């Protein structure tokens, strides 16, 4: 699949939630687009990633 | 032909700026035609909008608003006057965005922040010593009254949370996400995109420090979601927030809001 524009190898069946955790994303600071649409946080655990998926994870940084 | 002079439409056969000034008997320190300030004796055309301003004279209320927007590109003011924009967070981003949108004449602003002004705000936020201890929304509202009294400013001194986002922001054209805290930023963006599908959101991430100005940009992430900043430089121990980059980012957000209000969706 694609992660932030780069090819990323999926070597197991994994949910979006597990994927984000394993890749050290802080769930409270991100917005995730799956194939262009924002994914509601409540559904992260229900989504199983597919080889044809394109994911964009936007991590907010502090300051304002 | 019809022309508009200091906000009032008139029918006239006067054909130049000099003649017009003689006719209305005004000192002509500043002449602005269709958004452009000039000292030349321009020929007048149908539908020209002209401001004739005498320096040091306080104009009548009825003329003031037209003079204040005389340097706007034609048609901009009438369009933004009807718009509704909400600003969530009134720190370095939000206070500066609010002032810019007020100067632009955005007709309805909602200013939301739970906090009061304290000394460490003054290095980048649009407040004065005299505001210390006041709720930010109150301090900002009082400044905007002195900058542009012709717009409506509503304020809410509350913390924006997942549970009140819909209630606070339903009915607005655009929301500016202007929080400091990255968790609050993510919460607002996620909630607005999920639950306020008709509302556009212009968020910000990455404007700390004094690295290059040119890293700060505006991106369109989705149909109704824009983000400004360098997306990387967060506030952290050893990397502070200073006025220049914070205001550059606020300027990106305010200009994207203006573009959206004028019907332009590209960044």
Length of chain A counted residue by residue: 64
Gap from A54 CA to chain B (nearest CA, Å): 14
Gap from A25 CA to chain B (nearest CA, Å): 13
How much is the pLDDT for B27?
77
Token readout for B143 is 């400044």
Q: What is the Cα–Cα distance from B61 to B34, expressed in whole angstroms? A: 21
Report chain B residues whose CB lies below 8 A from the CB of A36: 222
Q: Does the beta-carbon distance from B246 to A64 stay under 8 Å? A: yes
| Tens digits of residue pLDDT in A10-64 | 889 999 999 999 999 999 999 999 999 999 999 999 999 999 999 999 999 999 9
All domains of chain B, ordered by start, with CATH?
Answer: 2-70 (3.10.20.30), 77-261 (3.40.50.720)
Average pLDDT over residues B151-179: 98
Task: Give contacts of B 139-198 with A, CB under 8 A.
Answer: 178-183, 185-187, 189-190, 193-194
Report chain B residues whose CB lies below 8 A from the CB of A61: 182, 205-206, 208, 231-235
Q: What is the Cα–Cα distance from B102 to B86, expressed in whole angstroms? A: 12
Report chain B residues whose CB lies below 8 A from the CB of A41: 190
- B61 confidence band (pLDDT: 50, 70, 90): confident
How much is the pLDDT for B144?
98
CA distances from B107 to B27, B85, B155, B171, B185 (A): 31, 8, 14, 14, 25
Q: What is the Cα–Cα distance from B17 to B39, expressed in whole angstroms? A: 9
CA distances from B183 to A62, B6, B58, B101, B158 (A): 8, 48, 47, 26, 17
ipTM of the complex: 0.95
User: Which of A29, A33, A36 lies at the smallest CB-CB distance from B183?
Assistant: A29
Q: Does the beta-carbon distance from A63 to B231 stay under 8 Å? A: no
User: Which of A29, A37, A56 lies at the smallest CB-CB distance from B182?
Assistant: A29
| Tens digits of residue pLDDT in B187-212 | 999 999 999 999 999 999 999 999 99
């Amino acid at each position: 699949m694609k992660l932030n524009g780069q090819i990323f190898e999926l070597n197991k069946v994994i949910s979006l939630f597990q994927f984000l955790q394993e890749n050290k994303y802080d769930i409270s600071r991100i917005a995730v687009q799956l194939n262009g649409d924002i994914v509601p946080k409540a559904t992260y655990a229900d989504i199983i990633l597919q080889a044809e998926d394109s994911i964009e994870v936007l991590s907010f940084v502090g300051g304002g | 032909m019809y022309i508009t002079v200091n906000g009032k439409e008139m029918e006239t056969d006067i054909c130049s700026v000099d003649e017009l000034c003689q006719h209305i008997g005004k000192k002509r320190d500043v002449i602005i035609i269709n958004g452009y300030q000039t000292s030349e004796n321009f020929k007048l055309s149908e539908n020209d909008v002209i401001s004739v301003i005498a320096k040091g004279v306080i104009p009548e209320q009825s003329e003031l608003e037209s003079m204040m927007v005389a340097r706007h590109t034609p048609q901009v003011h009438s369009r933004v006057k009807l718009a509704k924009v909400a600003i969530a967070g009134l720190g370095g981003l939000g206070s500066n965005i609010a002032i810019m949108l007020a100067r632009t004449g955005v007709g309805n602003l909602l200013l939301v922040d739970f906090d009061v002004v304290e000394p460490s705000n003054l290095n980048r936020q649009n407040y004065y010593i005299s505001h210390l201890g006041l709720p930010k929304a109150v301090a900002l509202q009082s400044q905007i009254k002195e900058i542009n009294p012709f717009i409506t400013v509503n304020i809410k001194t509350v913390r924006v949370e997942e549970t009140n986002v819909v209630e606070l922001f339903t009915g607005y054209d655009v929301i500016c996400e202007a929080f400091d805290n990255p968790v609050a930023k993510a919460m607002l963006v996620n909630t607005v995109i999920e639950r306020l599908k008709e509302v556009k959101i212009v968020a910000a991430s990455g404007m700390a420090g004094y690295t290059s100005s040119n890293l700060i940009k505006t991106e369109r992430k989705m149909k109704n979601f824009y983000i400004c900043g360098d997306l990387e430089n967060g506030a952290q121990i050893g990397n502070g927030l200073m006025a220049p980059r914070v205001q550059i980012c606020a300027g990106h957000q305010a200009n994207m809001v203006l573009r959206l209000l004028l019907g332009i969706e590209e960044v």
